[in-house]
Structure 1
Amino acid sequence: MAAPDARKRRPDRDAEQQEAGQDDGDPEDITMIKNVLKSMGVEEFEPGVVDTLLQYAYRHVTDVVESAAVIAGQARRERKDVTYDDLKLALRMQQGLLQGHPPTAETLKAMAGERNGRPLPVVARPGQGPASRVVGLDKKDWQTYVRLPAEDRCTVMPNYRPLKLKESRENP
């Protein structure tokens, strides 16, 4: 979706800006971006900076509104009937996507400890399926192990054989 023309001017705002002596010929959105930059202490910048920030703002707003429309559709409403709650949820989703942080090392260690603390499932020895329980296989004959596919089907096995290099008969 293309960004709306940033050069559009609003006559009512133009008159207000001219009266206040703030009219420098820029549309309202560009003036707002410049004011944000000035408030952050940025006095000098290349002309493309304002256009880039304006495109980013339009893209971000468009993404949030489109996500809100999808949320409205999931709520079995018309996509054009976007509510304030839809916008809030869409904004939270966008922020999560843009500013997602990976879990800390401590969190990962705790999760791994919890997962690795669980015992492996008890299964029959190879060649003895679940039917062997019925025939009276003792508990001591059961082992805990991980079933792996046959060696020719394992993806961790190398699928190549190195060739022996033949020494050339012509040694310089």
Structure 2
Amino acid sequence: MARTPRERHEPVDLATAEVVLTGTQDLLPVLRAAAVRAGVDAGRMRVVHLDDLPDPDDRPDAELAVIAIRRRGDGPTFHRAQEAAERIEPLLAPNAVRVVVTVSGVTRLAPKVERTLTSEVLHQIGAASATSGFRRPFRDLRSRLGLAGLRASGVRVFRITL
């Protein structure tokens, strides 16, 4: 079955990109620290709590959105991620990359897990902005083991489109 062509995002330059971070209250500080460590300019970063509505005066210019949700027993996480993405839609550019991080309710994000999570989010951003679907960034054995470790610890990272 052939893949349908889709409009790809241009490569995201984290030093100059507008970024929106949203998620549950306990994960926002971790997400913010990881974004700064990855090279995101703190002045270009907007942090929005999952339950807050974005300010209607904000311009829709963010190229990247990272949504972090802690999984609990109150419904499917994917639906919560979709709702969060729809809620911050007014802040995003039309072809913005949306990366979702879900964390198990019992998982504590230790510093080593945070670093692995940061590299996986960067990989997802690179894969979303690859020039073709067949030329995605290569995962070496170390990054594959890191992804397996994330999954084993209850952390999932994926991209969504609206």
Q: Give the TM-score category using the shorter length.
A: under 0.3
Q: Max radius of gyration: which structure? A: 1
More strand by share: 2
**Which protein has greater RCO, CA pairs closer than 8 Å, 6+ apart?**
2
More helix by share: 1
State the TM-score, normalized to the length of structure 1. Answer: 0.23
